[in-house]
A and B are shown apart, each in its own frame.
Chain A
Amino acid sequence: MIFSLLLLFAQSGLELPPLGYFPARDGRLYPLYGMRGNLVIGTPLEEGVTAAIRMDRTMVTKTAAGIVVGDRVLDREWLRESRVLLMGEEGERAGWIAAADALVQWSSRQVRVAMRAPSGWELVEFDGSTLSELRREPVHGDVVAVDSTGRTWTATGTKVGCGDRAWEMDSLVESLFALREGWVLIRVSGRLFAAQCHAPDLTMVPEPEP
């Protein structure tokens, strides 16, 4: 077995790819870069963009007008049903889950999302190719999210956890927001922390003051 080595810097070598785009407390959507212990935010997306994902070099954004893929606007009428919007290399996909009103990104055969139903939170699994619903099950928690590795995160009161790992926050968990690489953002009382299920660290996310 003979190897040769080709060394590349990701994304043309100029910058880290963002971990994702998150809504900051000033209402704008920011790209987040970094790792445990060192997170940096980039320039916010234009006002009115409420969600965004990036696959390879293509941006998908959600605005009041609908979903914008590149320079194409998919209006709300077209988005009444779930849609696969982009297909990347090695099975990575980005799509619109109508029932969850969410942009999602996945690379497995199924995609799971957490949805709030009148009776409480539910985990809903969709077929990764057709986005047809496969099954749903209730999940207990005040706030629930599914990270990019498929793990379920739940928060009840001040306690948030995934699998066997749990963190006790100093105030009520208000929201959970999943990014790439298994990162989940935990919002508590005006502050935002980032965590990954496999590590005990909480890293505070820089946020501009509102």
Chain B
Amino acid sequence: MRALLLLPLLALPCMAQLEVFTVQGTAERPVSGLVNLGETTTGEPLQAVIRIRNTSELLATITTLSVSGTGYSLESAPSLPKSILGKFSIDFYVRFQSPTAVSDARGNLRINALTVTFVAAAVAAPSLYLLESDGSRTQRTAGVPSVFPNTERGLRSTRSFVLENPHDAAVRVAAIAVSGDSFAWNELLTGAMDLPPRSSRRLDIVFRPTTSGLKNGALVIDGRSYPLEGIGVEPTPPKPSLSLSEERLLSGKQVRVAVKLDTVSRANASGRLRLEFTASMSGPDDPGVLFPGTNSRAIPFVVREGESVALFSGSKDTVLQTGTTAGTLRLIAEVGGYLSEASYTIDPAPVVAETVTVKRGIEIMEVSIKGYDNSRSADQVSFRFYNREGVEVPPGILTSLVAEKFRAYYETTTVGGMFQMLAVFPASTTTIAIAGAEVEFKNRYGISRTERLSF
């Protein structure tokens, strides 16, 4: 919208208690008989803010408020009659807009018995229209934004405008340009443009945000600025899927999990991989089922533009610890509104003796076993000892029924299916001849036996 050029006028009382002003910003100028609105182009409005102030202490009433003259109108005017309290004021606009060129357009504003004359001019210029998707068009005036559709960062959208010469004479556009980093001509347009009478020209402007957020630009035609607005949005990340380094999950393992994307991502996004674990037996939870990277059952990841796999602290996969309890492990990857999940069964298995340590005294043997029973159902442990020739030492197999001990242990354990057990073997003579041992566990899912330990 063009700036107004207001000429200083002599203040005069319009009524006994009402005074009239033009307002620019916070500055008031008293109006005497004539207000010059200045010059505009055809189709572009000029307007002035008019303030009527009641300078008395008494109530004043406006019964007449109108404007006459071709192209003149009132905007935001009060309905009549309008009363104004003492020392109060009201504001409204006097607007001029002409579709045709005119050099001296006059209008009269009547406020009760007072008349203020406005003068303005309009020079011939093309009109600008925004084409809508349904084929309709809306006229644009300077200062009013034309909004582009939300567009993904890195993509582009186009809006079409029509510059039309509605006049019977040719008009020349001396300068036309698009400003703003995110806006550009679809086809380069430079220099002056001549529009024959009653002709039009289509202008296509592209919106191509390189970052997300609100973007501003302008179509500037001979100094008149038509704002352009658009919002760059982050692209939606591709759909994730889960990939494990092992086809089958076993207890007591650390495996690698990756979150793959079904296409190369155009988006930067944050996501989360989490797991839910349901043990196949009752008892305390297994805190060993977790992502070691966070010591928890959830771990964040990011999706980066140009990548086809999510990154965990910069790495293309993360470690998942399966714990030492049989059950069902459900992995869920969440990113950009997508949710991908997969379930894995950790089957119950025979006891695993991970470390066996033998300590020999003169008349005593101590066997320490660290391992896990992922079904928490061990009921028997047996030991065999061998001499240096590999012959089993009497009395042969030594067996202990341990179901109750293990049951009591697993009722309160805080380390899942892991256990450490110490077996003490008092001997009647020196143990120096003993050179090997085997340990065998039995649980509901089978028998496991260590290799023969030599010592």
B-contacting residues of A (Cβ < 8 Å)? 1-11, 13-17, 33-42, 181, 190-191, 203-209
Contact residue among B291, B412, B427 (Cβ-Cβ distance under 8 Å from A3): B427
Contact residue among B323, B422, B423, B428 (Cβ-Cβ distance under 8 Å from A1): B428
CB pair A207–B295 under 8 Å, yes or no, is yes
Q: Give the contact stretch, choosing among B73-81, B205-213, B223-231, B413-421.
A: B413-421
CB distance from A44 to the nearest CB of B (A): 11
| Interface flag for B319 (CB, 8 Å) | yes
A-contacting residues of B (Cβ < 8 Å)? 251-254, 287-288, 290-296, 313, 319, 321-324, 354-355, 365, 368, 370-372, 381, 383, 385, 393-395, 398-400, 402, 405, 408-409, 412-416, 418-429, 431, 433
What are 15 sample pairs from A and B whose C-beta atoms fall under 8 A apart?
A2-B395, A3-B385, A3-B393, A3-B426, A3-B428, A5-B398, A7-B400, A8-B422, A14-B409, A15-B415, A33-B418, A38-B254, A38-B418, A42-B414, A204-B321
Q: Which residues of A contact B322 (CB under 8 A)?
A: 37-38
CB pair A13–B409 under 8 Å, yes or no, is yes
Which 4 pairs show the lowest CB-CB distances between chains A and B? A206-B295, A204-B292, A206-B292, A6-B424
Contact residue among B292, B313, B415, B419 (Cβ-Cβ distance under 8 Å from A9): B419
Closest to A13 in B: B409
CB pair B413–A204 under 8 Å, yes or no, is no
CB distance from A33 to the nearest CB of B (A): 5
Contact residue among B296, B365, B419, B425 (Cβ-Cβ distance under 8 Å from A16): B419
Closest to A43 in B: B414
Q: Which residues of B contact A208 (CB under 8 A)?
A: 294-296
Q: A1-B394, A3-B427, A204-B292 are in contact. Are A9 and B422 (CB under 8 A)?
A: yes
Q: A9-B405, A204-B292, A207-B295 are in contact. List 4 more A-B contacts (CB 8 A).
A: A2-B427, A5-B383, A5-B423, A14-B409
Q: How far is the CA of A207 from the CA of B294 in the complex (A)?
A: 6
Q: A5-B400, A16-B415 are in contact. Are A38 and B420 (CB under 8 A)?
A: no
Q: How far is the CA of A34 from the CA of B417 in the complex (A)?
A: 10
CB distance from B40 to the nearest CB of A (A): 63
Closest to A203 in B: B254
Q: Which residues of A contact B319 (CB under 8 A)?
A: 204
Q: Which residues of A contact B365 (CB under 8 A)?
A: 3
CB pair B395–A37 under 8 Å, yes or no, is no
CB distance from B358 to the nearest CB of A (A): 13
Q: A3-B398, A208-B294 are in contact. Are A14 and B413 (CB under 8 A)?
A: yes
CB pair B420–A9 under 8 Å, yes or no, is yes
Closest to A6 in B: B424
